Amino acid sequence: MTADSKWTIEFEVQADLLPADIQKLHAAAEIAMRQYRERPATITISIVDDAEMKKIHKQFLKKSSTTDVLSFDLSDTFQRKRVFALAVNAEMAVRQARQRGHSAEAELALYITHGLLHHLGFDDDTPEHARRMHRAEDTILQKAGFGRVYFDSDL
């Protein structure tokens, strides 16, 4: 968190996962918050493996598969400061990055940005909403130095 920041952004990384540049991932989260949120927030981002993501997915959404990102709003209705928790899957990021031709770090930044945008008024429930969300993701990721990670010519 910077001295003038309204947001506290903390990372929890499983010890056995390859370290990413947490400062760059932090920058992507900070840019998303600065661009789309005025209210203060505390954000915890857990970088996990497939096994842990599968447990979280089962516990909260009753699905037995792994996924890329899960995002939760843990805020109390009466709190001014919002509380968000994200779990991002490092092993899936490595696989997807290979397929998409960019770094696993950029893929993790995409997951973090995507999860946060769900709390900042974005959704991907229709093709138009998805296009809007993916454009916002790429704008944020470009500003954070990752380039256009999600870019698809159909957007």
Buried b (16+ CB within 10 A) or exposed e, 103-136: bbbbbbbbbbbbbbbbbbebebeeeeebebbbeb
List, as one string, the DSSP characters of 102-130.
S-HHHHHHHHHHHHHHHHTT---SSHHHH
Token pair in block for residue 91: 């092993």
The residue ranges of every structural domain in the chain are 7-143
| Angstrom distances, CA of residue 28 to CA of 16, 32, 76 | 23, 6, 25
What fold is seen in the domain 7-143? Collagenase (Catalytic Domain) (3.40.390)
Q: What does each of the 155 residues of the chain score in pLDDT, given as a tens digit?
A: 444 578 899 999 986 776 678 999 999 999 999 998 778 899 999 999 999 999 999 999 999 999 999 999 999 888 788 999 999 999 999 999 999 999 999 999 999 999 999 999 999 999 999 999 999 999 999 999 998 887 654 44
pTM of the shown model: 0.90
